[in-house]
Amino acid sequence: MDNISKLIADKKGYDDLVGELAELKGTDLNSLLLEVFRKRAMKLSPTELLKHFQQNRFAAHSTVDTIAFKEFEIRCLKLTASRGFTPITLSPLTVFGTCSSVGFVDQNNVMTALRGTEVVSDATNVFALLIAKECKNQKNTSVMKYAAAHRHVRTQGLINPAFTPHFSIFCLATGGSDRGSFSFELEQLVEHIDIHFAILENELRKEKLILKIYFKDENKTFRQAVADTLKNLNKSIRIEIENQPDTGDYYKLIRFKFFIDRDGNEMNLSDGGFVDWTQKLIPNKKHRLLTSGIGTELVHKVAYNQI
Do 109 and 28 lie in one domain? The reply is: no
| pLDDT at residue 163 is higher than 90 | no
pTM over 0.75: yes
> Which residue segment(s) compose the domain that 25 sits in?
3-43
Q: How many domains does the chain have?
A: 2
Residues 22 and 101 in one domain: no
Indicate whether 31 and 142 sit together in one domain: no
Strands 209-215, 238-243: pairing is parallel
The answer to whether residue 150 sits within a structural domain is yes
Q: Are residues 12 and 140 in the same domain?
A: no
> In the chain, what percentage of residues exceed pLDDT 90?
72
Total number of residues shown for the chain = 307
**For residue 91, what pLDDT band results from cuts at 50, 70 and 90?**
very high
What's the CA gap between 217 and 245, in Å, rounded?
7
More confident residue, 7 or 300: 300
Run of H or E including 11 = helix 3-12
183 has pLDDT over 90: yes
Residue 21: inside a domain: yes
Q: Are 250 and 103 in contact (CB under 8 A)?
A: yes
Is the pLDDT score of 151 beyond 80?
Answer: yes
The reply to whether 100 and 218 lie within a common domain is yes
Task: Write out the DSSP string of 139-205.
Answer: ---S-EEEEEEEEEE--S---STT--SEEEEEEEEEEEE--STTHHHHHHHHHHHHHHHHHHHHHS-
Tell me, yes or no, whether 75 lies in a domain.
Answer: yes
Asked if residue 244 is part of any domain, the answer here is yes
Is there a single domain that holds both residue 141 and residue 254? Answer: yes
Q: Same domain for 228 and 286?
A: yes
Judge whether 57 lies within some domain: no
The pLDDT of residue 104: 82
Quote the CA–CA distance of 81 and 75 in Å, as a whole number: 10
pLDDT number for residue 306: 87
Question: From CA 297, how far away is CA 63, in angstroms rounded?
Answer: 10
Question: Do β-strands 166-177 and 238-243 pair in parallel, antiparallel, or remain unpaired?
Answer: unpaired
Give the lowest-confidence range in 10-19, 52-61, 163-172, 178-187. 10-19
Query: Is 55 within a domain?
Result: no
Does the residue 205 lie in any domain? yes
Give the range among 5-14, 120-129, 169-178, 283-292 with minimum mean pLDDT. 5-14
> 114-119: which pairs have CB atoms within 8 A and are 24 or more residues apart?
114/30, 114/33, 114/34, 114/37, 115/30, 116/26, 116/30, 117/93, 118/93, 118/94, 119/92, 119/93, 119/153
Q: For 190, list phi and psi in degrees, rounded to 5.
A: -65, -40
